[in-house]
Structure 1
Amino acid sequence: MIKARITFASLRLTVEFDASRLNLSQIEATVTGLGYGLSGVSKRADSKASITERLLQHRQLLALTGLMIAGGISRLVLPEMGAWAFWPAVLWGLFPIMKGVLRQAGRGNFFGMETLMTVAVIGALALGESFEAAMVVFLFMIGEKLESLAADRARSGVKALMALTPDTAILIRGDERIEVMADSLRPGDLIEVRPGDRLPVDAELLTEAGSFDESALTGESLPVEYVAGNRILAGSLVTDRLVQLRVQSEPGENAIDRILTLIEEAEAHKAPVERFIDRFSRWYTPLMMVIAGLVIVLPPLLAGQPWDVWVYRGLALLLIACPCALIISTPAAVTSALAAATRKGILIKGGAALEQLASIRQVAFDKTGTLTLGKPEVTAIVSFGLPETEWLSLVTAVEKGTSHPLALAILAEAERRGIHVGVADEITVLAGHGIHGVVKGQNIRVGSPAAMAEVVACLPAVEAEIVRLEEQGNTVVCASVEGEFVGLLALSDTLRSDSGDAIERLRGIGVGSVMLTGDNPRAAKAIANQLGMDFRAGLLPEDKVNAVRALQASAPVAMVGDGINDAPALRTADIGIAMGQGSDVALETADAALTHDRVGEVADVISLSRHAMAIIRQNIALALGLKAIFLVTSLMGVTGLMVAVLADSGATALVTANALRLLPKGKD
């Protein structure tokens, strides 16, 4: 089976086929045979075409303009030529339109814009109105060029993204520096990037330190300082020094490629309003052709009206009926909004998610790694029974089996204290309940006070210590060896610098916020009070799902999270938004993702989606309103063929230009 998909935003053709039955040259021949051009898989379009190339791109319109001028002069100089003066212009302009009709008919589409244009122009010639026929094809061609320019502008954000990664890279082999194609790099290769150049791949920094401009990817205006061992994303600009890096991404799988893949997948998830318009347009055009036919035949047959008058009005109605403006009204706005969101460091997975975002009235936030930095530090250690170094060695051995932020903090504290980390077997991670393992034949369990309530409840002194530490805003972790309680670890996280601003901005656009956390109520309350928001604490993953469902009973909810345990809630919410450095599961489950770790943009993306939906409603109203007006004027004989095609092209350009208002100002 052969599957093909064309992505409007990136102008990429994706074909899935059996290489044993079909080859690339056959695919290229088929595409070019349909009248489309192809650029090479590894080639980039040159955005700075020469004047000669630009003239060649518009040669058909320029030639038609010359024929129109020649026709006008001929009619003035040789009046006897009359209507024949514009026939060359009509034939020249009609030829590519009829080719389009044949191509569409070959694909089973008999009611496209080209069909309507062809019928109208041939009808005008039959009535002896060659000047109007010539003007119709002339205005149609101008409209097509304007639409193409507007569409290119709508795709400019994606084009800029595609241009971020260079085609070549400097590969290090021993003492040699070799320039190679970027797509030949493989994980483990060493590369060198000069100041002012961009990274062609995701890579690990080997140089001691470096400054990188990631504004094109994350929207962060200031360069970011990285040290050796940090992962740097493809497309980042080196700002201060020559750096060496180790390639980490496979060809076609770097950060830019992943963003483009998400954008392409997003186009497959159309907004409900867009899907409705697609269905509407399938029967709308043939219906309007039937109505135009009735307009032509009924007045002359039933009322004895002149045939030529009503044929002319019917042809004008055909041009007015073209659904181009209506069809483009939604995808132009969606593409512009997705491009604008991408420039802000927000990836929205499709028009459906964009439309749903506009309805959000509540946002639920995970705490650790979302509202906080997700880099807690150990603030206190309290031992009960075993010496501190002995039970910490056992606990850290088990914690090595997880990448949870609390576990990483415990490991860091053990390293700081010089405590030997043992080796654990049979490690079992219990999401929301802690972790269990066997070290030197001893069963070790680490978890929250709630998860180990059966042990803590028997020890009043431990309970009192837990309360004291939690009231200070700490997260408390309990540890037991062979079922015997051995100690407490108190950890504290730091709020993100923009968390408070994010909550305030949401409040400013009428969106409420609530924190959903598995942390204890006392620590959660301390964080929530700082941010001025509601909270639900002590939640397991299934409890977060139930909390989201309870919130949905009153208004649509967006969930923002970063961890594996957030994935069910992200999927349950009306919209799931994953933090950029979150788990792969969270990123795959969510409907949108932040390419950075700032929560302030959550309010921005909701505002952007609301603006996009307002633009879509405006575009639909413009498209239908203008058609309704000119439909009436055409039937009354006030407007003719030229005005009809101008109205259609004008409406298409108008709704596209309106959609472009969503794009960031001053950015390409």
Structure 2
Amino acid sequence: MSEENKPKEWSFKKNVAFTVLEEDRHADHKDDGCDATCGHGPGRHHTAHAETAEEEGRLVPNERVRSYRIEGMDCSSCAMTIENHLRMNPAVKQVRIHFATGKMQIEHDNTADDIVQEVKKAGYRATPIYPIGGAEVRQAGWRDPHQSMTVLSGVLLLFGYLGQFAGVSDDFRTLLYALSIIAGGYKPARSAFYAIKSRSLDMNVLMTTAAIGAACIGEWLEGATVVWLFAIGNMLQTRSMERTRNSIRGLMSAAPVEAWVKQGGLLVRKPIGELAIGSTIIVKPGEKIPLDGDVIDGQSAVNQAPITGESVPADKGAGDPVYAGTINESGALEIRVTKLAQDTAIARIVQMVEEAQEKKAPSQAFVDRFAAIYTPLVFGLAVLVMIVPPILLSEAWSEWLYKGLELLVIACPCALVISTPVAIVSAIGSAARNGVLIKGGASLEKAGQLTAIAFDKTGTLTTGKPRVVHTTVWEGNETDLLSIARTIEERSKHPIAAAIVRQAEERAAPVLVGANYNNFVGKGAGATIAEVEHFAGSPKLFEELGAGQGTWQTEAIAMQREGYTLVLVGTRERVMGMLAVADTARETTVEAIRGLKEVGIRHTVMLTGDNEGTARKIAGESGIDEYFPELLPEQKVGSIARLQQRGERVAMVGDGINDAPALAAADLGIAMGGAGTDTAMETADIVLMADHLEKLPYTVRISRQALRIIKQNVWFSLIVKIVALLLIFPGWLTLWMAVLSDTGAALLVILNSMRLLRKTH
């Protein structure tokens, strides 16, 4: 291998190493799933994404990195134990486990079965994650085989405890307690063995040490109670965590794995993984749409809630896009496939949400740093408590060994460490099911801290489709006026011309015979109708034509001040009438702005390239506090900067394409209509999958609730630890109480975070 093609190795945090060949650094963006909008130059592409992965604790995707689902983890220390155990295997090049999502990314040279067996040795289950649309997307739920042993442990403990009231001998009760410890402690003891072997200090090690220590000093009841409480707490935590992790995996079952394919006039049932772009599929009423595509024939109402969160079905007809996982409610649809199974909107949502759940939020990084200091500090204190008083102060060994064992239990910051990631996973998963894609814990935290939101006007606050809202006739009648205007404008593709043609069609105004069509750039157009030159254009055009002074000028000025775009219709000598065109506010805009103010957004701003009158009109209709008119795209960035200089934390809402500079300049970029726009899904921090604003107040609300729950979890975890520490030295804390405080606190933190799963708009 030449010098320039030797592998370059970067050492990452969390002991992760990633190797990239120099020649691969210039690979096409699509090779590793990165969109061209990432903004990295060819020479910086892989390096930049390697740095991003380092910051987020992820592995950079490549053809050698495989993903597995890990089941049975109840604390983040479990993930560290499995990681360290796998790193000792020479076939494993790199590995990263995300406790919150239960997902493992690993690069290995041996088989998937080998990895599954290695994980099983440590007491957990690994299941390969296959590509979407593959045969093994649906996996059977996992039942921990040690649950029955936990039940047996509890029964033996109960019999031993009740035996003291039935005259059972101490030796027999001790035997029952010992058997209870073995039954309930087998799994944590085995996990502790692998943790010690891989140089990890996790909860299993601490609890196993505490149980053995209790037995050594003759506290058999305490030891058995510790083991059973720890086992039952772990079982409950595991179940709760799996439910949290499944909050987003449930979306996967929304898309069917087979489709009815039209082939030579026949319908054939085929797996979606075998279909190509351009295939024609048939979806019957009541069935789920298997792949993204465009409707060729048929009309139906489609429930798009799994993608956009919309509660009202959308009407679909020829030419309309449809998405995998949505439900065809009424008529049969013939659909042309536009995306493969792994590229559908729902597949991308699942992939991006899982990636988002794996990204660490600033608060989580802080908690992890705190825990990294807290655990060894308390562990060291426990060792000193066991040794120093008996040796230096001639105190009783049993008493101080017991206090040291209590400190060992308290040394594990399990509840504190999971306080943040569980809340983030719950919030992001809940938002995804409601049509909002939040791309990471950092974005979630920023959304919860917003004070101001800036909006692009066209297509965001407004429909983006101008329409005729007022007609003034000075000569003839409205039908004649619209016929002339339609004849002149029908050949134009300008949005305003299209609005006039639509109005004429709705009023049944016919097209007249025209000739000698002319276009006056930026002013209007003209044509000869009935041997007379007619024009349709701005007031400026008719002033240049010398159409004479009249009342039309006064009315035109008044209408322009109100924010309307005017199209006058007439000849060189006179003005026959006037059409007022406006891009109207969306029906949901006013409600959305009101909802944002109710959730604490104190300032709303509109950024637009339109004139002062139009901007003022839309701002007034929408309830916007402030507007900046006549802005070029690059000038919107300056407006965002001015808001930030006022001390505002600003989000920019746009379409994710034209507003890219402003989206990047804002503290948080929010794109609309992401279901049909890959670029929007890639560029923005938050994506509203539907093309309207009513999800925006919900997004801010769930983000703020997530921040509140994170603070509640962190403070609760710290207070429980502090109280437990204070109760040790007066002798008021027992070993089983210490275990109960730790496992109980962790369980309560998970349950508190799971409240976010029920959060709807």
Tell me how far 1:461 sits from its aligned partner. Answer: 3.1
Tell me how far 1:142 sits from its aligned partner. Answer: 0.5
C-alpha spacing 1:419/1:628, structure 2 compared with 1 (3 Å): farther
C-alpha spacing 1:605/1:407, structure 2 compared with 1 (3 Å): farther
C-alpha spacing 1:205/1:646, structure 2 compared with 1 (3 Å): same
C-alpha spacing 1:144/1:253, structure 2 compared with 1 (3 Å): same
Match of 2:686 among 592, 609, 624: 592
Q: Partner amino acid for 1:94?
A: G
Aligned pairs for 1:170-249 within 5 A:
170-249=260-339
C-alpha spacing 1:179/1:64, structure 2 compared with 1 (3 Å): farther
Match of 2:176 among 77, 80, 85: 85
Counterpart secondary structure, 1:61: helix
Task: State the partner residue of 1:530.
Answer: 621
Match of 1:60 among 149, 174, 178: 149
Match of 2:709 among 596, 615, 630: 615
- d(CA) in 2 for partners of 1:187, 1:126: 69
Deviations for 1:430-468, whole angstroms, at most 9, x for unmatched residues? Answer: xxxxxxxxxxxx9997699xxxxxxx9998936989966
- d(CA) in 1 for partners of 2:734, 2:127: 38
Task: State the partner residue of 1:575.
Answer: 668
**How many pairs align?**
611
Are 1:521 and 2:604 an aligned pair? Answer: no
Deviations for 1:218-242, whole angstroms, at most 9, x for unmatched residues? Answer: 2222222111111111111111133
**Structure 1, unaligned runs of 5 or more:** 382-386, 400-404, 421-441, 449-455, 479-487
- d(CA) in 1 for partners of 2:628, 2:756: 36
8 A contact 1:199–1:234 mirrored in 2: yes
C-alpha spacing 1:25/1:660, structure 2 compared with 1 (3 Å): closer
C-alpha spacing 1:652/1:418, structure 2 compared with 1 (3 Å): farther
Query: How does the TM-score come out when normalised to structure 2?
Result: 0.72
8 A contact 1:208–1:228 mirrored in 2: yes
C-alpha spacing 1:288/1:477, structure 2 compared with 1 (3 Å): farther
Match of 2:635 among 543, 560, 568: 543
Match of 2:655 among 562, 579, 586: 562
Match of 1:374 among 451, 461, 464: 464
Of stretches 80-89 and 319-328 in structure 1, the one that deviates more from structure 2 is: 80-89
Of stretches 259-268 and 609-618 in structure 1, the one that deviates more from structure 2 is: 259-268
- d(CA) in 2 for partners of 1:124, 1:223: 62
Q: Partner amino acid for 1:589?
A: T
Task: State the partner residue of 1:43.
Answer: 136
Indicate the structure whose relative CO is greater, using CA pairs within 8 Å and at least 6 residues apart: 1
Of stretches 608-617 and 595-604 in structure 1, the one that deviates more from structure 2 is: 595-604
8 A contact 2:390–2:396 mirrored in 1: yes
Q: Partner amino acid for 1:509?
A: V
Are 1:461 and 2:543 an aligned pair? Answer: yes
Tell me how far 1:589 sits from its aligned partner. Answer: 2.2
8 A contact 1:380–1:489 mirrored in 2: yes
8 A contact 1:580–1:594 mirrored in 2: yes
- d(CA) in 1 for partners of 2:631, 2:566: 15
C-alpha spacing 1:12/1:215, structure 2 compared with 1 (3 Å): same
Are 1:142 and 2:235 an aligned pair? Answer: no
C-alpha spacing 1:5/1:518, structure 2 compared with 1 (3 Å): farther
Tell me how far 1:209 sits from its aligned partner. Answer: 0.7
- d(CA) in 2 for partners of 1:345, 1:308: 59
Tell me how far 1:211 sits from its aligned partner. Answer: 0.9
C-alpha spacing 1:563/1:615, structure 2 compared with 1 (3 Å): closer
Counterpart secondary structure, 1:206: strand
C-alpha spacing 1:546/1:281, structure 2 compared with 1 (3 Å): same
Of stretches 647-656 and 154-163 in structure 1, the one that deviates more from structure 2 is: 154-163
Tell me how far 1:493 sits from its aligned partner. Answer: 1.7
8 A contact 1:154–1:336 mirrored in 2: yes
Of stretches 254-263 and 538-547 in structure 1, the one that deviates more from structure 2 is: 254-263
Task: State the partner residue of 1:351.
Answer: 441
C-alpha spacing 1:584/1:629, structure 2 compared with 1 (3 Å): same
8 A contact 2:302–2:328 mirrored in 1: yes
- d(CA) in 2 for partners of 1:134, 1:407: 82
C-alpha spacing 1:7/1:165, structure 2 compared with 1 (3 Å): farther
Tell me how far 1:415 sits from its aligned partner. Answer: 11
- d(CA) in 2 for partners of 1:657, 1:243: 43
8 A contact 2:656–2:684 mirrored in 1: no
- d(CA) in 1 for partners of 2:104, 2:449: 33
Deviations for 1:50-107, whole angstroms, at most 9, x for unmatched residues? Answer: xxx8695722323333443565577753433453432222233333213222333455
Deviations for 1:613-639, whole angstroms, at most 9, x for unmatched residues? Answer: 111111111101011111111222112
- d(CA) in 1 for partners of 2:435, 2:666: 21
8 A contact 1:395–1:444 mirrored in 2: no
- d(CA) in 1 for partners of 2:335, 2:449: 44
- d(CA) in 2 for partners of 1:104, 1:162: 34
C-alpha spacing 1:410/1:591, structure 2 compared with 1 (3 Å): farther
Are 1:664 and 2:753 an aligned pair? Answer: no
Tell me how far 1:285 sits from its aligned partner. Answer: 1.1
Deviations for 1:245-276, whole angstroms, at most 9, x for unmatched residues? Answer: 22221121112111112212212432111111
- d(CA) in 2 for partners of 1:136, 1:208: 65
- d(CA) in 1 for partners of 2:96, 2:497: 44
Q: Percent identity?
A: 36
Q: Partner amino acid for 2:283?
A: V
Of stretches 92-101 and 119-128 in structure 1, the one that deviates more from structure 2 is: 92-101
C-alpha spacing 1:132/1:103, structure 2 compared with 1 (3 Å): same
Aligned pairs for 1:439-518 within 5 A:
461=543, 470-475=560-565, 491-511=581-601, 512-518=603-609
- d(CA) in 1 for partners of 2:156, 2:348: 48
8 A contact 2:539–2:567 mirrored in 1: no
C-alpha spacing 1:111/1:563, structure 2 compared with 1 (3 Å): closer
Task: State the partner residue of 1:167.
Answer: 257
8 A contact 2:698–2:760 mirrored in 1: no
8 A contact 2:178–2:220 mirrored in 1: yes
Tell me how far 1:319 sits from its aligned partner. Answer: 0.7
Counterpart secondary structure, 2:594: helix
C-alpha spacing 1:229/1:552, structure 2 compared with 1 (3 Å): same
- d(CA) in 1 for partners of 2:641, 2:497: 30
Are 1:304 and 2:394 an aligned pair? Answer: yes
Q: Partner amino acid for 1:100?
A: S
- d(CA) in 2 for partners of 1:502, 1:308: 65
Are 1:338 and 2:338 an aligned pair? Answer: no
8 A contact 1:612–1:662 mirrored in 2: yes
Tell me how far 1:180 sits from its aligned partner. Answer: 2.0
C-alpha spacing 1:260/1:40, structure 2 compared with 1 (3 Å): closer
C-alpha spacing 1:322/1:447, structure 2 compared with 1 (3 Å): farther
Q: Partner amino acid for 1:461?
A: E
C-alpha spacing 1:130/1:557, structure 2 compared with 1 (3 Å): same
Q: CA RMSD in A?
A: 3.7
8 A contact 1:333–1:612 mirrored in 2: yes
C-alpha spacing 1:79/1:294, structure 2 compared with 1 (3 Å): closer
- d(CA) in 1 for partners of 2:607, 2:619: 10
8 A contact 2:298–2:332 mirrored in 1: no
- d(CA) in 1 for partners of 2:394, 2:651: 63
- d(CA) in 2 for partners of 1:14, 1:178: 37
C-alpha spacing 1:28/1:186, structure 2 compared with 1 (3 Å): farther
Deviations for 1:17-53, whole angstroms, at most 9, x for unmatched residues? Answer: 7xxx555455545544554231662435567x7xxx8
8 A contact 2:185–2:231 mirrored in 1: no
